[in-house]
Amino acid sequence: MDMGVQGKLAIITGGSDGIGKAIAKTFHEEGATVVINGRNLDKLNAACDEIGVNAHGVVADLATPEGAEELMTFAEDRGDISFLVNNIGIFDVNDFFEVTDERWMEYFNTNLMTAIRISRLVMKDMLGRNDGSIAFISSEAAIRSIGNMVPYSTTKTAVLGLSRSLAELTRGTNVRVNSYMPGTTSTESVKGYFAGLAKDQGKTIDQALKDFYDEVQPGNLKQSLIDPAMHGRGVIQLMTNSAMNGVMHRADGGTIRSIF
């Protein structure tokens, strides 16, 4: 199926690994030119080599306004920006009562402000051209609030509010803004977390995962980690469907026991 991205330009923030890289690969496979950003040039170059010849990486830290400007300029040099995927995020397991103000601000700056900074630039240009599509990568933790990941859940819930609010600014235009809610995915960081958990508990990784789904996510219908490539397909479908605007697309493996 032709997804309608051939020859168009897509920015995927934090696209050098994990879900971001999977999304970048899908756009590239469908014929788009892809721009990814990060803070490590060697990692960016390796990711671009893996993604393909029309992938370009730039060292641009969206934790700063200057980094957002650098990414915008780098992308614009390659054409009009048709797609923006706000993917940057951090997570860890923590005790709410031990999380410092500084760590809270790091969460807000990384999980929310990075997306605000680049969207503010890109979306204004899209509205001026009356064309474009933006997606925010949230998490099932935005809905299934997690007690030992309070900063993560809180900021991912905020991402949903940000996405819908920006969609309100697109009324009557050809610009769309949506959010995408993945479940627990087989990224390097998640696999590393379960490897550490298994070691701490004296279990195999397979047993640690089984216990996770039995005890933490018993409602999950998939009962296994999600292949990041599935999110690549899901995001590109969401971003190219002109009937979808201001919505949240769930890809959580059935973890949330709700049809809405």
Of 152, 180, 193, 213, catalytic: 152
The answer to whether 152 is a known catalytic residue is yes
Q: Which of 205, 204, 253 is nearest to 231 (CA)?
A: 253
- Quick count: other Cβ atoms within 10 Å of Cβ 215? 8
Whether 136 and 151 have beta carbons less than 8 Å apart is answered as no
Instruction: State the pairing for strand pair 55-59/81-86.
Output: unpaired
Q: For 184, how many CA atoms within 13 A lie in the half-sphere containing its CB?
A: 22
Sequence-separated (6 or more) residues with CB below 8 Å from residue 164: 177, 179, 246, 248
Question: Where in the sequence numbering do the catalytic residues fall?
Answer: 152
